[in-house]
A and B are shown apart, each in its own frame.
Chain A
Amino acid sequence: MRGLAVLRWSLLGVYAALAAAPLLLLLLTSFKSPADATSLDLKVLPLAGSASPHAFAPTLDGYAGLAGGGEGTAQPFWSYFLSSAIIGVCSTIAAVALGTCCAYGFSRFRIAGAKDWLFFILSTRFMPPLAVVAPVLVMYRQMELQNTHLGLILLYTVFNLSLAVWLMKGFIDEIPKAYEEAALVDGYSRIQAFVRIIVPQARTGMAVTAVFCLIAAWNEYGFALTLNNQRGVTVPVYFAGLQGNISGVPWPQVAAGVLVSVLPIMVFTLLIRRHLLRGVTFGTIKQ
Chain B
Amino acid sequence: MPGLEDLYREIILDHYRTPRNRGELPPPARMAEGHNPLCGDEIHVYLDVQGDTIVDVKISGQGCSISQSSASMMSAAVKGKNINDVLALVKRFKQMMSIEEENADTTGEIDTSIKLGDLEALQGVVKFPVRIKCATLAWNTLVQALESPER
Partners in one complex: no
Chain A interface (Cβ < 8 Å from any Cβ of B): none
